[in-house]
Amino acid sequence: MTTALGARKWWGWGFEQDGVDPAAYEGLRASLLHLLGDARPRRIEPVDPASVRIPSPRFGLPPAIAEFASDDRLDRLSHAYGKAYVDVMRAVAGDVPNPPDWVAYPRDEAEVAAVIAFAESESIGLIPYGGGSSVVGGIEPPPCHEADRPGVITLDLRRLDRVLHVDRSSRLAEVEAGIFGPALEASLRPAGLTLRYFPQSFEFSTVGGWIATRGSGHFASGATRIDPLVAGVRLMTPRGILDTSELGLSGAGPSAVGPILGSEGSLGVVTRAWLRVRPEPTHRASTVVQFADEAAAIEAVRALGQSGMEPADCRLLSPLEAALTGVGDGRSAELLLGIESHDRPVDHDLARAIEICAAFAGRTAPAPARGDASDTDAAASRWRRWFVEAPYLRDRLALDELVVETFETATTWHRFAELHAATLRATQRAIVEACGQGFVTWRLNNVYPDGVAPYYTVLALGTAGREIAQWTAIKAAATEAIVANGGTITHHHAVGKTHRPWFERERGEVAVAALRGMKAALDPAGIMNPGTLLA
Amino acid sequence: MTTALGARKWWGWGFEQDGVDPAAYEGLRASLLHLLGDARPRRIEPVDPASVRIPSPRFGLPPAIAEFASDDRLDRLSHAYGKAYVDVMRAVAGDVPNPPDWVAYPRDEAEVAAVIAFAESESIGLIPYGGGSSVVGGIEPPPCHEADRPGVITLDLRRLDRVLHVDRSSRLAEVEAGIFGPALEASLRPAGLTLRYFPQSFEFSTVGGWIATRGSGHFASGATRIDPLVAGVRLMTPRGILDTSELGLSGAGPSAVGPILGSEGSLGVVTRAWLRVRPEPTHRASTVVQFADEAAAIEAVRALGQSGMEPADCRLLSPLEAALTGVGDGRSAELLLGIESHDRPVDHDLARAIEICAAFAGRTAPAPARGDASDTDAAASRWRRWFVEAPYLRDRLALDELVVETFETATTWHRFAELHAATLRATQRAIVEACGQGFVTWRLNNVYPDGVAPYYTVLALGTAGREIAQWTAIKAAATEAIVANGGTITHHHAVGKTHRPWFERERGEVAVAALRGMKAALDPAGIMNPGTLLA
């Protein structure tokens, strides 16, 4: 079988045509190069995929599986990496030594079962694949030369993309796991419902991927992660089907869904889920609050996170991040604050939120006359646009030879100030050492009563041929600072292969043994996503 | 070691002196007997514990453990059963063939570790024990004659009862797992904080027990279960300590706390937890809404559960349950509705909630003049008092030879009406068959966007010597109706031994194998709470 990948880029984010306004991009690029004190017109061109040397498939497939599988060069190349900066840089350089041997596109669960059975019988590694947006090596095959197995099949679930049933009374949607964000929302819209889960990868990620990685959506507080939105899951494992049904309210034994959320394909293939959907919000109120003092701004965010109000939006942008994203002028930290409800007006809540901010010297822009688009609305919509375009911009900047990547963590409020200062310090120092010029911006991305998830963006001058080493050094320094100050290795980017050593340290030997025990019961031959999450 | 159990009953709930007003009890008893068409003045007297025949301990303890363990008759008797109706009836009859051989009261984790090591080396079963309030056989030793092991130690954790640290900034409390509800709240109060987790067992249950069983507190919606209140857990297993730390916000891998919540002692001993605490609510608004039509009332509750408002109280009592608890006159279903916040007024939310109820023909009592105690307040406080006293009342009624017990489930809204009707029908039929006279009342105990947890109370005439068989027949009929109509075997009473066969059916073979895999990794000798949760 040969698959047309349509107009998706094989080496980076989204479609070949990214829809980013050329003039706007040039403006951003110029500002960045100005900030970085460098104006060299460098440009990396992605190699022609036809010229990339890749190994031949190490094994053949039985005809029944070959019918829905492909060893087409572009299929294999485009499933070799996720979408991290290091993935893009390796791909555009044609450095793809370990593509999957085959990419299978099953059309139903029977075909998934056939692939699992074949892989198990031959000890072939099996990588469940949704949208391929992992930034931690989660869907990358293990290196050929290290493998103690005869090869790897990537199981691309894009054809399992149906909404099977919408239970309006219980506000539950039963969906196949290969459905992408936009298709899911389009299917729910006629019923007046939405999952309201918008991760940055929304356009190119799937329900199964969100579940497997415990992804995080656009809510800044409350139901930030996919976890509470999942009432049930169907997981196909080498030992059979684990189907929790939609009965997520059971209190019998440990949560049945729990161990599957975040399992990253290591236990089996998520083929179906019951999702908690809701009506579109009909009441919204939002504003932007400016803080001259960053420490006071952070305290205001803590107060909001502990208020019980659970604002949908509560993102604090550092002055520089606000400037780069068009939200502010770089002289103050900007808090994007939004409250929503499908049931009742939220003006009282927004007024209370503004009052909380005012206690920390946060200043809101005056409310606009009714019907006018305010500066506030404009700032929020600039942010949203930037948020959606960011992966596209990242690719463009990477080709302009900037080292550009993000990392994130979460910690308790008690530890945050020290962690934050240490992380910024270590990252900035590593940037200077590795790149000479560059900087790190930050935002508070998710807010909880007990803690906060900061998100950092690095922008630095790359050196031709050394970019991956440069980023790796920066990431290592940042990670050490995070871990040394009580942060987790990830709030919502999953473990994959990149974070595994730190995950093992953080989780501890006994807890990792517990996970391994569960894996041994469901995947005794160890074929499921080898090397991801668990060694 | 000999332990003074103080004034706790060895055979039933709470203290010997139960504090139930004698006149009020006589009134309740008289109404019930009137309803049941029977006025026989029967009375069961609990046997003298000194007369109960129990086997001698089957093994001795090393001196280092004997120092904090007891084989005192009363210690062993009082740890033989939980607090289900069948437990009370067996105990008062002196039918206690399988008490634990020893009860250990460790003073620190080193002593817990010593008991675990000794038990593993001798293949002795080890039962972690908090307040002993299980109603599903969760802390009951397996029958001696069935055991393939030389005996059982019950590990009573009451001495691990310290609040170790309160992190006010992150609103996290690090506590030892043996602390009881009232002591926990007393320790948090000086900091102006509360866990606000009030299960019916509050007075006689512990943090560790809440975690091990995924207990449910007093919130009707929102954070109803202990799960979201637990940021971290420390679990001592035969393979070492699993310590998640307080970093509950990590998104790395599956939730570390998840598999421990609901593990019922089958993986290890919970010795410590990090709990998400909050300020006392300073704003409260509540009312009682009356519905002449039960079906409309249930729809109103669904609308409230799906409003996003998450009322702290949202309990719909059936007309009969309302009458028996003093909340109503038995002619309408009564909805106890309460909203609270520690941050801001909630009057707007309550007004909206009342508006929702009005759309389903729900009528509220008129608001009282400021400063007056309203009928509403009185009804709510009668409910609270009944809720707290219920386990005491249950014991008294049981001794007056009524079959009196509760059961509960949860299901999606879509399935609820049929499940509810079938459950009431099957239960009522079984009551008549087993007891001749009796009835079942109900309430909606917990409310979610996707479903609801109904709670049923059976009151029927017992027949001397046949009470346990009578209840067992009623429970079996109710359970079959629940399971056949898509309900879970339990929303918050755990699995224990009583629910295990249904749990295995509900969870399915593959999911049970996954749990067994985890247990095998942490407890390879299978000493932890044998027969509870997993066979």
* pLDDT value at residue B314: 97
CB B296 within 8 A of CB B357: no
Cα pseudo-dihedral A497, A501, A504, A509, rounded to 10 = 130
Identify all chain A residues contacting B214, using CB atoms and an 8 Å cutoff.
Answer: 251, 254
* pLDDT value at residue A21: 86
- Return the closest-CA partner of residue A218 out of A139, A286, A128: A286
A226 vs A195: CA distance, rounded Å = 10
* pLDDT value at residue A6: 57
B367 vs B291: CA distance, rounded Å = 17
**pLDDT for B75 beyond 50:** yes
- Span B54-77, average pLDDT: 97
Q: Which of A249, A262, A306 sits opposite B488 (nearest CB)?
A: A249
What ranges make up the beta strands (E) of A448-525? 451-461
Each residue's pLDDT tens digit, B145-194: 666 778 999 999 999 999 999 999 999 999 999 999 999 999 999 999 99
Q: Which of B226, B341, B343, B407 to mutate to test the interface with A (most CBs of A within 10 A)?
A: B343
Minimal Cα distance from B492: which residue of A? A251
Return the axis-axis angle of helices B375-399 and B85-92, rounded to nearest 10°: 40
* pLDDT value at residue B146: 64
Q: Which of B348, B490, B509 sits opposite A252 (nearest CB)?
A: B490
The percentage of chain B sitting over the pLDDT mark of 90, rounded to a whole number, equals 85
* Residue B43 CB neighbours (<10 A): 8
B517 vs B148: CA distance, rounded Å = 21
Q: Which of B167, B450, B514 sits opposite A170 (nearest CB)?
A: B450
User: How does residue B496 score in pLDDT terms, banded at 50, 70 and 90?
Assistant: very high
A153 vs A112: CA distance, rounded Å = 12
Phi, psi of A490 (to 5 degrees): -160, 140
Each residue's pLDDT tens digit, A402-427: 999 999 999 999 999 999 999 999 99
Q: Which residues contact A184 (CB under 8 A, 6 or more apart)?
A: A163, A175, A195, A207
User: How does residue A373 score in pLDDT terms, banded at 50, 70 and 90?
Assistant: low
* Residue A354 CB neighbours (<10 A): 16
**Using only C-alpha atoms, what is the Rg of chain A?**
23
Each residue's pLDDT tens digit, A484-500: 999 999 999 999 999 99
* pLDDT value at residue A1: 52
Minimal Cα distance from A515: which residue of B? B518
Q: Measured between CA atoms, how close is A311 to chain B, in angstroms?
A: 12
Q: Is A281 helix (H, G, I), strand (E, B) or coil?
A: coil
Mean pLDDT of chain A: 94
Identify all chain A residues contacting B519, using CB atoms and an 8 Å cutoff.
Answer: 517
Q: For residue B388, give the H/E element and its range.
A: helix B375-399
Minimal Cα distance from A299: which residue of B? B169
- Return the closest-CA partner of residue A302 out of A335, A269, A253, A273: A335
Both structure tokens of B299: 């729809």
* CA neighbours closer than 13 Å in the CB half-sphere of residue A503: 30
- C-beta atoms of A450 and B246 within 8 A: yes
* CA neighbours closer than 13 Å in the CB half-sphere of residue A530: 23
Phi, psi of B164 (to 5 degrees): -85, -35
Q: Measured between CA atoms, how close is A219 to chain B, in angstroms?
A: 14
**pLDDT for B38 beyond 80:** no
Phi, psi of A92 (to 5 degrees): -65, -25
Identify all chain A residues contacting B497, using CB atoms and an 8 Å cutoff.
Answer: none
Q: Measured between CA atoms, how close is A41 to chain B, in angstroms?
A: 39
Q: What share of chain A is helix, strand, coil (3-state, %, to 5)?
A: 35, 20, 45
Each residue's pLDDT tens digit, B434-465: 999 999 999 999 999 999 999 999 999 999 99
* pLDDT value at residue B377: 76
User: How does residue B195 score in pLDDT terms, banded at 50, 70 and 90?
Assistant: very high
**pLDDT for B366 beyond 70:** no
Please give the model's pTM, rounded to 2 decimal places: 0.96
- C-beta atoms of B259 and A259 within 8 A: yes
Phi, psi of B450 (to 5 degrees): -95, -5
Residue type, B36: L
Identify all chain A residues contacting B227, using CB atoms and an 8 Å cutoff.
Answer: 255
- Return the closest-CA partner of residue B167 out of A306, A82, A154: A306
Lowest mean pLDDT across A12-16, A290-294, B311-315, B376-380 = B376-380
- C-beta atoms of B309 and A344 within 8 A: yes
Q: Are strands A102-104 and A152-156 parallel, antiparallel or unpaired?
A: parallel
CB A278 within 8 A of CB A193: yes
Each residue's pLDDT tens digit, B287-301: 999 999 999 999 999
- C-beta atoms of B511 and A252 within 8 A: no
Q: What letter does residue B158 receive in the DSSP assignment?
A: T
Length of chain B: 535
Lowest mean pLDDT across A10-14, B400-404, B451-455 = A10-14
CB A346 within 8 A of CB A284: yes
* pLDDT value at residue B401: 93
Both structure tokens of B66: 């004997």
- C-beta atoms of A519 and B520 within 8 A: no
* pLDDT value at residue B52: 96
In A306-405, which ranges are continuous DSSP H helix? 319-324, 347-358, 375-399
Q: What letter does residue A123 receive in the DSSP assignment?
A: T
- Span A325-329, average pLDDT: 91
Q: Which long-range contacts (CB under 8 A, 24 or more apart) does A38-46 make?
A: A38/A437, A38/A461, A42/A400, A42/A401, A42/A464, A43/A399, A43/A400, A43/A401, A44/A92, A44/A398, A44/A399, A44/A400, A44/A401, A45/A92, A45/A399, A46/A11, A46/A12, A46/A91, A46/A92, A46/A399
* pLDDT value at residue A371: 47
Each residue's pLDDT tens digit, B99-143: 999 999 999 999 999 999 999 999 999 999 999 999 999 999 998
Burial B118-149 (b: 16+ CB within 10 A, else e): bbbebebbbbbbbbbbbbbbbbbbbeeeebeb
Q: Which residues contact B181 (CB under 8 A, 6 or more apart)?
A: B197, B198, B199, B201, B202, B203, B205, B206
Could you tell me how many CB contacts below 8 A there are between chain A and chain B? 275
Residue A273's DSSP bridge partners are A175, A233
Q: Which of B134, B170, B270 to mutate to test the interface with A (most CBs of A within 10 A)?
A: B170
- Span A92-109, average pLDDT: 97
Each residue's pLDDT tens digit, B300-340: 999 999 999 999 999 999 999 999 998 999 999 999 999 99
- C-beta atoms of B510 and A242 within 8 A: yes
Identify all chain B residues contacting A258, using CB atoms and an 8 Å cutoff.
Answer: 254-255, 258-259
A107 burial via Cβ count (<10 Å: 0-12, 13-18, 19+): exposed
Identify all chain A residues contacting B508, using CB atoms and an 8 Å cutoff.
Answer: 242-243
A214 vs A234: CA distance, rounded Å = 16
Q: What letter does residue B206 receive in the DSSP assignment?
A: B
**pLDDT for A4 beyond 50:** no
User: How does residue B373 score in pLDDT terms, banded at 50, 70 and 90?
Assistant: low
- What was the ipTM of the complex prediction? 0.95
> In Å, how far are A113, A374, B11 from B7, measured between CA atoms?
60, 68, 12
Q: Measured between CA atoms, how close is A489 to chain B, in angstroms?
A: 7
The percentage of chain B sitting over the pLDDT mark of 70, rounded to a whole number, equals 96
Q: Is B39 helix (H, G, I), strand (E, B) or coil?
A: coil
Identify all chain B residues contacting A519, using CB atoms and an 8 Å cutoff.
Answer: 517
B497 vs B511: CA distance, rounded Å = 18
